[in-house]
Structure 1
Amino acid sequence: MRFAAPRSPSPSPTRNRRHRPRSTFAVPSESSSEDEDDASGSESASSSEGEWLNHRPEPPKPRREKSLAEQWAREDTLAAVRRRINYHDPYEEWEKETRQEAFRVARQKHTQDCIQQRNARNERRAQDEQRSAALHEQQLKEVESQLAAMNLQKQQEEAMLRAQWKERDRQLWARIDAVIKQEEERRRVEQEAERKKREEEERLRREAEEKKRQEEERKRKEEEEKRKQKEKEDEERRIKLAAAQAEKEREQAETEARKALGHSTAFEDWRRGRDTLRTLKAGPMKTVKQNKEMKAIWSAGRRAITPKVGQLTSDMAVVVRVSHELVNILRPPQAHPPPIYIALLSSLAKAILMQAETEVTAEKKSAMPLAQLTVNLLTSLEGFADIFWAKLCQRAGGWPVPIAIPANDTDGTTITPQSMRKVQGFRDTDEGSEVLGDYTSRVTGILRVYFTTLVLPVNQPLDPMFRMDRYWTYFTRMLKDPQLLESPVAAQIMFTALDIGGLHACAVWGSQWTRLLALLFEGVTVGYHGLEGRLIGGKAPEGNASRTRLQLEVERIMAAAST
């Protein structure tokens, strides 16, 4: 901003003409011009002196004298020009300095105002963060109290069911023993009747045919031995059938109880993922790809999903914002047709898992926002749990279950050696097949997100595949399968699981978890299942490194639990 004052028509007090210096570029005075005229006149006169002798001299022109006013006017004009050229105005300098000083004062005041505003904003932001932290802590305490009540109720129900199972097993075996005793008594009575009949016949034969007694006795003994052998075989067969029937009834009872509790076997979990993936490819994905309009809508949604997943940061506000945006993409005001909705769920699950393969492998902390996003989507999107589980099994093989890949697929087809690597989750690139180290790192990154999802607090129950009890189920299944324990991937995955939720599991299951960790420690130091030398992770170099990390993590958790 410029600051200026109007110029006064009167001259400044400092503008004194008497002190103005004279300019060196001055107009020559009249006297000098007159002298020049005289000099030029004398030169012309001397040059034409000869001609004057021969010609008649002309009379000289009269010189006009300038008036005094004209001389003064010319001197004033010359003096004004000299003053205009060399004069330095102090007023203008003062005016310029005043403008600069005003600009400096205004800029300093503006800087102070900006600093005060920034300090005020920082203080308000800190107050907001304190209020949010207090609210979060209060909500966390409420969730923990609810979870404790739910766990207590669950333990009571499990104890009641165990008592019922024991009573049922006792009654079942009592009935089996009663049936066996009844059958033995019946056979004894029949044998006694037959024996008496044979004795009577023998007596009659001895009386009638004394001569043939020895031969008949020999034949009778042979028949007796054969009959006893047959009876023994029949008895053993009946006992085996009764035991098999009892085992079948016990397994059926366990299956019904497991279904009542929402539990499932490893093969059932594996079949759920494979069947969902097969249905997804043959149904919605095939329908969408064959229809141009549906494919265009699906492609647009997929292009919108991938950047949103890539925007995740550790800031919870960003996670919540991205979750809402993704839900809005999949559930717009005008709902998508079912095939497009399911196809978009598949693309969303794939984007999350690919983000886990790239970012979590490089930075472990990236698993937390991805897991929180997954939990938010599992509670908001219908059907996302089945699709996410199917894509998880597709990209990580049987490790999310965990299960050793069987020889036959869930639809009964035989898995060939060429397709086995694909079912296990290995990726083939232009450079060749994926090596074990890259495969282990990629699968570990995916499962780090999965384990983090299991231990995160939630405000509503999730699908059984993503609940906290799956954490216990995962370790029990892993420890009872020698084929899984021999793989180097197993040691690295269990280390990752303990790194995420080992201490939390110790607080949830207490001494039971401690005993499980003792079995795990024995498997990495002595040998699993009592087999000395059969260590978890096998004998490969990758297994040695993963086994060492797993041992150190178990020791750290045990030390923390004992304090």
Structure 2
Amino acid sequence: MNFVLNLARYCTFHFVERLTRLSSLRDTMKFSAPRSISPSPVRREPRPTRRRSTFGLPPDSSDEEYGLAESDEESVSTLSSSASSDSFCYASESEVPPPQPKPRTAGRSLEDQYHKEDTIASIRLRVRHKDPYEEWEHQTRRDAFLSARNQQTRISSQLRRDKKQLHSKDANRLAALHTKQMQEVEAALASFKLQQQTEEQKLREQWRERDRQLWQRIENVIQFEENKVKAKLEAERKKREEEERKRKEAELQKRLAEEKKKEEEERKRREEEEKQKELQRQEEEKRKQAELDKQRAEHLKAEEEERKKLGLTTAEDDWRRARSALKALKAGPMKTVKSNKELKSLWSAARRQITPKVGQLTDDPQTVSRVSQQIVEIMRPSQPYPPEVYLALLSSLSKTILMQAETEVTAEKHSALPIAQVTVNLLWTLEGFSEIFFAKLCQRVGGWPIPFSIPATDVDGKTFSNEERTKAMGIMTVDGQDEGLSEHTARVAGIMRVYFHILFAPTPKPLDPLFRLPRYWTWFARILTDSKLLESPVAPELISTALEVGGFQARDIWGQQWVKLLGILYEGVTTGLHGTGRLIGGSAAPGPAARGRAELEIERIMGVIP
């Protein structure tokens, strides 16, 4: 690169030097070149001078290459002055002044004109002359420039190749060094790992030996204690057998004497009964005749009495009944049992027996029957419990069943069937269980079993506080925080699934009207008339649960009326009730998903109807 710059500087300097020599030669020729002798004594008239442009000389003239003629210099000076005078800008072309007229020059003599023409001719001859030495010099410099450029290119390429090879060698050396170091590190790690594994294996063996010796000592102590206990139990067993044998002999003698006495009393009682039966038969005939007369008199009130017998009550009546039973249970038996140490001990012992029994339920008829019988035996022992303890145990039993439904049915809905069957067995077996179970059911899930919207006042006329009303609605509180909507919906749906199975379960004798099959129709009729309940996201979830449990059986029982009710429900979960656009469950989650499940259940039931 430096060579090229030096060559350019040299050519520029040579060109300026040559131009300077040519200018000085022109000045010498102007004043010292002799005028050629005219071949004719008479000269032609000089032609009028005219303005010549810079292009007046031929293209091959030396003036074009090295300088300007005198007239051209004047033109350039004129243009420069004109350009300098017009250097400022005008607003428009109309404002540009016309060019200044060129002043006429004074006439020259004929001798000066001849001298000028001779000078120009001499310059042209000089300029058009080609010097072979200069041509050779130019060509030599051009070749030198090309040779230098090729040499520079070749040297640069060689330098790049050498640099690339050097980098490659360094990279290979570093890679080999890195590989060697990695091998050394891996060898050290492998050695350390092997040492660590050896130490760990040694420690494991020591711990195993220690554990073996420890467990051996424990087993020896246990075996020794077991032998002592076995010897003691054997002695007690023999003593009990001897006492039992003596007690049975005494009971046998006593029972023989009592049986003989009972036979004598039974004979006398039969004689008295025969006399009493004859008197009762006569009185019964009189009583039947009186009843016939009374039935005729009360025929007008028969319809009202029949409604009461069927258990057709209002939703508010059912809620007040459940709420009153719950308050009476807490204020009466539960308070008494908890305040009395002996009663509380009896209650706690029986309650601890009930909880494992309910947890052993499986979907097997034998297991259901066995668990039901065991619970009945716990609730009705040979020595009956005091009334307060019995009612408290009924409350604990109800709570245990409902909590089992919350945990198991929420996870697996098929587990609701055995829980419902055990509950049905207890409802028709245990006295007073129906009332307490329904009260506890409403306590756990609010007014959904009725269904009924919880009012602002309690049954005693006292206004609910926010916490009390939330609790009455069945919303649980965990660590001071109300349970979430999704958790509440799932929990209520699990308990209500058990309740719907109870309504359809077969029973050997009628249950309380709150647990009979007509309550299934009543539940749907009431929830469709309660706008507050329909707006809750829990409503479509419970509707889909109820349809899944008993939709097909309800179709077989109520026929076309059930189809009409399904049509109203389908309208409520798809387009809105009565064309209002108000969907069951509202827009909050999990309302849309529950509506979808209810819609599928309705379509599934309607699809099997001819």
Query: Which of 392, 413, 421 in structure 1 is aligned with 2:462?
Result: 413
1:525 aligns with 2:570: no
Q: Could you tell me which amino acid in structure 2 is paired with residue 540 of structure 1?
A: A
Q: Could you tell me which amino acid in structure 2 is paired with residue 352 of structure 1?
A: I
Match of 1:339 in 2: 388
Q: 1: distance between equivalents of 2:538 and 2:604?
A: 21
* Paired residue secondary structure (1:457): coil
* Paired residue secondary structure (1:462): coil
Query: Which of 601, 604, 608 in structure 2 is aligned with 1:553?
Result: 601
- Rg larger for: 2
Q: 1: distance between equivalents of 2:372 and 2:383?
A: 19
Q: 2: distance between equivalents of 1:401 and 1:359?
A: 23
Contact 1:289–1:295 under 8 Å retained in 2: yes
Contact 1:267–1:403 under 8 Å retained in 2: yes
Contact 2:310–2:513 under 8 Å retained in 1: no
Residue-by-residue CA offset, 1:454-488 (whole Å, 9 max, x unaligned): 01111110000100000000000011111111111
Match of 2:312 in 1: 263
Residue-by-residue CA offset, 1:154-193 (whole Å, 9 max, x unaligned): xxxxxxxxxxxxx99xxxxxxxxxxxxxxxxxxxxxxxxx
1:284 aligns with 2:333: yes
Structure of higher RCO (CA pairs closer than 8 Å, 6+ residues apart): 1
Match of 2:538 in 1: 489
1:506 aligns with 2:579: no
Unmatched segments (≥5 aa) in structure 1? 1-166, 169-251
Q: 2: distance between equivalents of 1:256 and 1:415?
A: 35
Match of 2:446 in 1: 397
Q: 2: distance between equivalents of 1:334 and 1:381?
A: 16
1:365 aligns with 2:414: yes
Match of 1:432 in 2: 481
Match of 1:442 in 2: 491
Q: 1: distance between equivalents of 2:466 and 2:339?
A: 31
Residue-by-residue CA offset, 1:476-534 (whole Å, 9 max, x unaligned): 00111111111110000010000000001000111111111011111111211x24210
Match of 1:536 in 2: 584
Contact 2:420–2:498 under 8 Å retained in 1: yes
1:461 aligns with 2:528: no
Unmatched segments (≥5 aa) in structure 2? 1-298
Q: Could you tell me which amino acid in structure 2 is paired with residue 446 of structure 1?
A: I
Task: Tell me the CA shift for residue 260 of structure 1.
Answer: 4.1
Match of 2:207 in 1: none
Match of 1:330 in 2: 379
Contact 1:492–1:546 under 8 Å retained in 2: yes
Task: Tell me the CA shift for residue 430 of structure 1.
Answer: 1.5
Q: Could you tell me which amino acid in structure 2 is paired with residue 371 of structure 1?
A: A
* Paired residue secondary structure (2:609): helix
**What are the equivalent positions in structure 2 for 1:293-332 lying under 5 Å apart?**
293-332=342-381
Residue-by-residue CA offset, 1:119-169 (whole Å, 9 max, x unaligned): xxxxxxxxxxxxxxxxxxxxxxxxxxxxxxxxxxxxxxxxxxxxxxxx99x
Contact 1:367–1:448 under 8 Å retained in 2: yes
Contact 1:266–1:403 under 8 Å retained in 2: yes
Query: Which of 478, 485, 500 in structure 1 is aligned with 2:527?
Result: 478
Task: Tell me the CA shift for residue 269 of structure 1.
Answer: 0.6
CA 1:386–1:526 in structure 2 vs 1: closer, same or farther (change >3 Å)?
same
Contact 2:406–2:492 under 8 Å retained in 1: yes
**What are the equivalent positions in structure 2 for 1:222-233 lying under 5 Å apart?**
none
Task: Tell me the CA shift for residue 432 of structure 1.
Answer: 2.1
1:515 aligns with 2:578: no
Task: Tell me the CA shift for residue 383 of structure 1.
Answer: 0.2
Task: Tell me the CA shift for residue 254 of structure 1.
Answer: 8.8
* Paired residue secondary structure (1:561): coil
Q: 1: distance between equivalents of 2:445 and 2:557?
A: 28
Q: Could you tell me which amino acid in structure 2 is paired with residue 317 of structure 1?
A: Q
Q: Could you tell me which amino acid in structure 2 is paired with residue 545 of structure 1?
A: A
Contact 1:503–1:561 under 8 Å retained in 2: no
Task: Tell me the CA shift for residue 409 of structure 1.
Answer: 1.2
Contact 1:451–1:471 under 8 Å retained in 2: yes
CA 1:363–1:297 in structure 2 vs 1: closer, same or farther (change >3 Å)?
same
1:386 aligns with 2:435: yes
Residue-by-residue CA offset, 1:204-249 (whole Å, 9 max, x unaligned): xxxxxxxxxxxxxxxxxxxxxxxxxxxxxxxxxxxxxxxxxxxxxx
- TM-score where L is the length of structure 1: 0.54
Q: 2: distance between equivalents of 1:431 and 1:478?
A: 31
Contact 2:475–2:483 under 8 Å retained in 1: yes
CA 1:267–1:362 in structure 2 vs 1: closer, same or farther (change >3 Å)?
same
Q: 1: distance between equivalents of 2:353 and 2:448?
A: 30
Q: 2: distance between equivalents of 1:495 and 1:361?
A: 15
Task: Tell me the CA shift for residue 379 of structure 1.
Answer: 1.0
* Paired residue secondary structure (1:426): coil
Task: Tell me the CA shift for residue 418 of structure 1.
Answer: 2.5
* Paired residue secondary structure (1:439): helix
Query: Which of 425, 447, 454 in structure 2 is aligned with 1:376?
Result: 425
Q: 1: distance between equivalents of 2:551 and 2:464?
A: 35
Task: Tell me the CA shift for residue 422 of structure 1.
Answer: 0.5
CA 1:480–1:256 in structure 2 vs 1: closer, same or farther (change >3 Å)?
farther
Q: Could you tell me which amino acid in structure 2 is paired with residue 561 of structure 1?
A: I
* Paired residue secondary structure (2:460): coil
- Aligned length, in residue pairs: 312
Contact 1:491–1:543 under 8 Å retained in 2: yes
Residue-by-residue CA offset, 1:252-310 (whole Å, 9 max, x unaligned): 99976632432111001101110000000000001101110000000000100000000
Q: 2: distance between equivalents of 1:447 and 1:254?
A: 32
Question: Structure 1: which 4+ aligned runs deviate by more than 4 Å?
Answer: 252-257
Q: 2: distance between equivalents of 1:430 and 1:448?
A: 27
- TM-score where L is the length of structure 2: 0.50
Residue-by-residue CA offset, 1:53-89 (whole Å, 9 max, x unaligned): xxxxxxxxxxxxxxxxxxxxxxxxxxxxxxxxxxxxx
Task: Tell me the CA shift for residue 417 of structure 1.
Answer: 2.1
